[in-house]
Amino acid sequence: MALANYVPGDLTQPPYSSIFPLRKFAGLAGVTVLALAALVAGPAGAHGETPAPTIQTAPTITDGGVVDNFPDGMTFSVHAESVSAINDIRLHYKILPDGTAANAVPDFTPGKSVDATVSLGGASLYLPPGTIIQYNWQVADARGSGNATPEQSFFYDDVRFHWQKLSADNLTIYHYTGSDSDAQKLHDVGVQAIADAEALLGVQVPFNVNVWIYDSSDDMNPALPRTSPAFESKIITEGIKIASDTVLVLGGVSYDTLRHELTHIVTAIAGDSALGSLPPWLDEGTAVHAQQDQGGFKVAIVQAIGLGQVLSIHEISSYPGDPTKVELFYGESWSIVSFLVDTYGQPKFAQLFSAIKSGKTLDDAFQTVYGFDQDGLENAWRAAHNLPARLTDSPTPSGQTTTPAATLEPAADAGRGMSTGELIAIGVAVVALAAIVGFAGITLARKV
């Protein structure tokens, strides 16, 4: 069904007034009560009486709603009135599900009747499609009297397209092209991808996940976070995780892009916290591991292994700024993750994520679960691929100092089923094609 923008209606807060109840005491004659009433109603000061108190009213506020300016954010408006000059207006808001509460103060001229607006999003604050803003207005006047509107929610929609929605099993697919059967297939693949990642990492996703399917790069680009023009000119983004519960994916690409991005939803639950976060190679390597076909990432690492030009584990501990190293970064990250899972098993892999989430440093987490740190892991992985050890002072998995890789036994199935002959053949083919594809754009699935 089509999505409609939710625009709150008037939220007028009527002024309140003080109520002074008249109590009738037993034993007083009616004439006495009337005399007292006349005395109260008489002119102030005639016999030294205290004037009746002035009724104080709070400012009245009308929520003017929200205008969706996607991709340039949204504009909130408000009207406020009071018997004294309005001198403070604030938009109190929270970006769900992860944001903390914040205030935005509009520019306005103080007065007894004021209109004001606040804009969120655009170049100063990236907001992805599907963002829900929880908000209310708070107003005060020169007397110090204040008032607030009830809390409301606004759904930030990509209003350029007429979206259809398919939602079940804690996964929602938004799409504006393609058939209902296409959307159902994407949904089925997505549900299974989340289940597979949950099983691998030993966690459960406790919230609904949203997937927005775009028909083309031109359609999706305005919805993406901004990066450098040089990077964007070299990279075609096929998918991206842009919030803890939301991914964007290009339609028409392989289902593996969807598997990759949804796995990022699960890795964040399993390994990220205020106390610790996953290194990029572990996060991306796990997402590529979820793919059924590693494609160019696999080709890139096979070529690098064949040429002895792999990156160190410290080089893949941050995302590459050089577009020419992107596919190798993903491929090597996948290869190391596969080595961990295939050699030491799924339970230890899940324990590693749990240790990182608990706040342990990366090296402490690896030592606790595997008995070696990241340098030890790298040299064990290098040995499995007949690469010489990178000289460090770190212990190997056996607790001994590092030795040349030729003396170490390669781990079984380290290449995920590829023989030495296959490695060589693919490496030669890639070298032959390098001159042809050297200046071609790179496509990838990535996360923020």
Give residue-wise pLDDT tens across range 400-438. 433 333 222 223 333 334 433 443 344 434 334 333 333
Q: How far apart are CA 275 and CA 261, in angstroms?
A: 23
Cβ proximity of 10 and 78 under 8 Å: no
Q: Where do the domains of the chain lie, and which CATH numbers do they carry?
A: 60-155 (2.60.40.10), 164-447 (1.10.390)
At 124 the pLDDT is 84
User: Is the pLDDT assigned to residue 226 strictly greater than 60?
Assistant: yes
Cβ proximity of 381 and 335 under 8 Å: yes
Cβ proximity of 202 and 354 under 8 Å: yes
The answer to which of 31-40, 47-56, 259-268 has the lowest mean pLDDT is 31-40
Q: How far apart are CA 434 and CA 60, in angstroms?
A: 69
User: Is the pLDDT assigned to residue 115 strictly greater than 80?
Assistant: yes
Cβ proximity of 440 and 324 under 8 Å: no
Cβ proximity of 173 and 227 under 8 Å: no
More confident residue, 413 or 45: 45
What one-character-per-residue DSSP string does 385-400 give?
A: TTPPPPP-SPBPTTSS
Cβ proximity of 148 and 184 under 8 Å: no
At 327 the pLDDT is 95
Provide mean pLDDT across the span 331-359. 98
Provide mean pLDDT across the span 340-351. 98
pLDDT tens profile 182-222: 999 999 999 999 999 999 999 999 999 999 999 999 999 99
Q: How far apart are CA 46 and CA 135, in angstroms?
A: 52
Cβ proximity of 41 and 51 under 8 Å: no
User: Is the pLDDT assigned to residue 25 strictly greater than 60?
Assistant: no
pLDDT tens profile 133-154: 999 999 999 999 999 999 999 9
236 pLDDT band, cuts 50/70/90, is confident
